[in-house]
Amino acid sequence: MTRKMDNTTRYERLRERYMNGDIDRRGFLGLIGAAGLAYGVQTPFAKYAHAAANEVRFDGWGGVVSEAFRKYAFDPYTAKTGIKVVDGTFGDGDEYLSRVKAGQPGEFNIAHLSGVFDYARYQNLGLNSVLNEANIPNLEFVIPKLNDVFRKVSDGTLSCVPYDYGTTGIAYNRKYISDEEVREKGARILLDEAYKGKIGGWTDWRTRVWYGALQTGQDPNNATDMDAVWDAIRTHRDLLLKYWGSGAELMSLLAEEEIYLTEGWSGRIYALQEQGHDIGYMDPPSSFAWQECIYVMKGSPMEPCEELLNFMLAPATSIAVAEGQNYPPALDPTKVDLGAKIPTLPAFDPTGTLEQLTFADPGYWNGNEAEWSKTFGRVQKGY
Amino acid sequence: MSVEAREKRQPWILLSPALTAITLLLFIPLLFIFVYSFWLRTATGADEIGFYLDNWREALTDAFYRDILLHTFKVAAITTVVCAMMGYPAAYFIARSKGNKPLLLLMLMLPFWISYIIRTMSWINILGVSGALNTFLLWIGVINEPIQMLYNEATVILGLVHFLLPFMVLNVFVSVDGIDETLEDAANSLGATRWQAFVQVTLPLSLPGLAAGGLLCFVLGAGTYITPLVLGGTSDAMFANLVFEAIITQLNWPLGSALSLMLLVVLGALVMIYNRYLGMAQLMKGLG
């Protein structure tokens, strides 16, 4: 009978030769060491190849969003296809991009990314895939404008499907600040000396520059007087209690009344309102609108990924996730009945045209990223 | 093989797992970081491979980095002094306590069972506007409205002291515990007061432990980035925060590599100076 030549058999035979005196101790240990090295080097890379057909890795923002994805998309997808979805999370998009950059091709597959500029960054770094849209029939329910923005960046093709959108507007504690005052002062209320020490701000250079442009009466997608913008950012910094770094920190600072006033993410503020906090939310003219997408990385198993995207775009899944995270889905309300809650969410556009929202121009923002992110890093620290 | 040759090889064989681990996990990654520091970040975020001195020139000549480095050392130095002042009496008390020494040492180690980040964040619940301290002060009528205690340099130092104090106590404890108690008795019998016996006998003999604790506190304090991130305000960033920003936010790995090596070299120089004058043996005892 022929015995199967697996690794255990190989090691047993090697040991037998050593015990019989056919090879010396140095040779035996050398061969064992070489085998270990080969296994150690091969394993980290081989697992992605082995995993390709069996599992797909998804990375997102965690919390209720991941729970909704798991319940409405990943579990039914695994039940139908037998392909497991490995569900990872990240704190912010910059951190995730660093992990992807440090990783191996195929290690990361699908991610819930924020903003068209993120999409452009992944394209610029050569991390993009090209989706076969025929495999994603639910793409027809998506608001056309959201798809078009991505297509412009990637020569008419898509590496992602749009998933949701929202705004970064002004959030304020109604106990101390009235709706009328916010409406009257707009973005400049964040520079009001009266609230010194009770103002917060996101530690994101894009948001800071966007609001700096609004506070100096400029077009956020084409500011011409950057000195005035940086001065506004410095003024804001000097009135600030703290730059916040995550949605959880934003909610904690507002809920604990450490701050009364900040710009904030529409969905997170809606969540605070749902919890019973009297926090107001208002989008000033040209407020910062953004869209999120589900992005597929280069080196991923494309067909399983496309099928998963189709599951995620199914109206039932999209609506459940949107209700969980409080951001309107990318589904066109003229084609899909979005239920009762979604039309009440901030930033929701019932027309499906999104004409009222101002999105970031990716070319403009990414073109200035290196300089402005560095400058903001210094301004933030008092320079 | 002769017995002599085998004896010579034996330490190397025993050390080989540790040396392999240090080579693979420390020296080779450091080499990568060193090589990276000479590359350039392009406008698209991709790295340009080559030999460019731009990152080093920027790190060494830009006043911004120098100022933040000095600020980092100032915060680390204040933290070290506070740790020494608070840690020495505690270590002395533990070393001289009879019977309950193991229990006291266990209590000293207890904080290590809780995540450093959670321990740091706990100060928000204590010092926050609606935190325990403000609530108590309002309740007893000492204040009429909450005091803003968080997000400044003082809270960063407080968080660092909270984190580093056990390292100081352990090092001083090892040193004081090793001093023969009869030396103080001898000093007393020769006419010295208890205070004089402490200042002229115990304190000088325990200085190596104090110095080892000080070095650990300073090096760990100067390399931290979580504490200023969680408890600091707008102008409380430390040098490690700049490394984080360069690598994560700006995706500028080459500059981040140069900055991290710069911090490593400066702190490494401090360790070398310590080693030159006090030796590493005391530090090893404290860590052991």
pLDDT band at B276 (very low <50, low <70, confident <90, very high): confident
Instruction: Say how far residue A265 (Cα) sits from the centre of its chain.
Output: 13
Half-sphere exposure of A96 (CA within 13 A, CB side): 25
Tell me which DSSP letter residue A359 carries.
E
Q: How confident is the model at residue B45, as a pLDDT?
A: 76
Chain B interface includes A373 (CB < 8 A): yes
Q: What is the mean pLDDT of residues A325-352?
A: 94
Whether ipTM > 0.90 holds is: no
Residue A2 has pLDDT above 50, yes or no: no
What residue type is assigned to position A82 of the chain? G
Note whether A257 contacts B129, CB cutoff 8 Å.
yes
In chain B, the DSSP E strands lie at 40-41, 47-48
Of B233, B242, B245, the CB nearest to A242: B233
Q: How confident is the model at residue A66, as a pLDDT?
A: 81
Q: Which residue has the higher pLDDT, B45 or B58?
A: B58
Q: What is the mean pLDDT of residues B245-249?
A: 89
DSSP 3-state assignment of B93? helix
Q: What is the mean pLDDT of residues B228-254?
A: 91
Q: What is the mean pLDDT of residues B254-268?
A: 96
DSSP 3-state assignment of A289? strand
Residue B27: both structure tokens together: 């020296």
Angle formed by the axes of helices B63-96 and B203-222, nearest 10°: 140
Place of tokens 């703290």: A242
Contact B234, A242 (CB under 8 A): yes
* Model pLDDT for residues A177-226, shown as the tens digit of each residue: 999 999 999 999 999 999 999 999 999 999 999 999 999 999 999 999 99
CB pairs under 8 A between A and B: 69
- When mean pLDDT is compared across A41-55, A213-227, A366-380, B166-180, the lowest value belongs to A41-55
- Of B116, B211, B103, nearest to B160 by C-alpha is B116
Of A242, A257, A381, the CB nearest to B151: A242
pTM reported for the whole predicted model = 0.80
Residue A155 has pLDDT above 50, yes or no: yes
Residue A143 has pLDDT above 60, yes or no: yes
Separation of alpha carbons B148 and A347, rounded Å: 34
| H-only helix segments in chain A | 7-19, 25-51, 63-69, 75-81, 93-102, 116-124, 144-153, 179-185, 205-215, 226-239, 247-255, 266-274, 302-313, 315-325, 362-380
Separation of alpha carbons B212 and B220, rounded Å: 12
Contact B222, B267 (CB under 8 A): yes
Contact A374, B250 (CB under 8 A): yes
Give me the phi and psi of A163, to 5 degrees please. -130, -40
Q: How confident is the model at residue A64, as a pLDDT?
A: 72
Chain B interface includes A240 (CB < 8 A): yes
| Cα end-to-end distance, chain A, whole Å | 79
- Of A294, A269, A275, nearest to A345 by C-alpha is A269
pLDDT band at A267 (very low <50, low <70, confident <90, very high): very high
Residues sharing a CB contact under 8 Å with residue B144, sequence separation 6 or more, in sequence order: B138
What residue type is assigned to position A208 of the chain? R
* Model pLDDT for residues A61-117, shown as the tens digit of each residue: 887 778 888 988 899 899 989 999 999 988 778 889 999 988 888 999 999 998 788
| Cα end-to-end distance, chain B, whole Å | 36
Distance from CA of B235 to the nearest CA of A (A): 5
**B contact set with A (CB within 8 A):** 41, 43-46, 64, 68, 124, 128-130, 148, 150-151, 229, 233-235, 237, 242, 245, 247-253
Give me the phi and psi of B201, to 5 degrees please. -120, -60
Q: Which residues of B touch A94 (CB under 8 A)?
A: 248-249, 251
Residue A40 has pLDDT above 50, yes or no: no
Q: How confident is the model at residue A28, as a pLDDT?
A: 52
Residue A43 has pLDDT above 80, yes or no: no
Residue A19 has pLDDT above 60, yes or no: no
**Dihedral sign for Cα atoms in the order A98, A101, A103, A109:** positive
Note whether B129 contacts A370, CB cutoff 8 Å.
no
Contact A301, A53 (CB under 8 A): yes
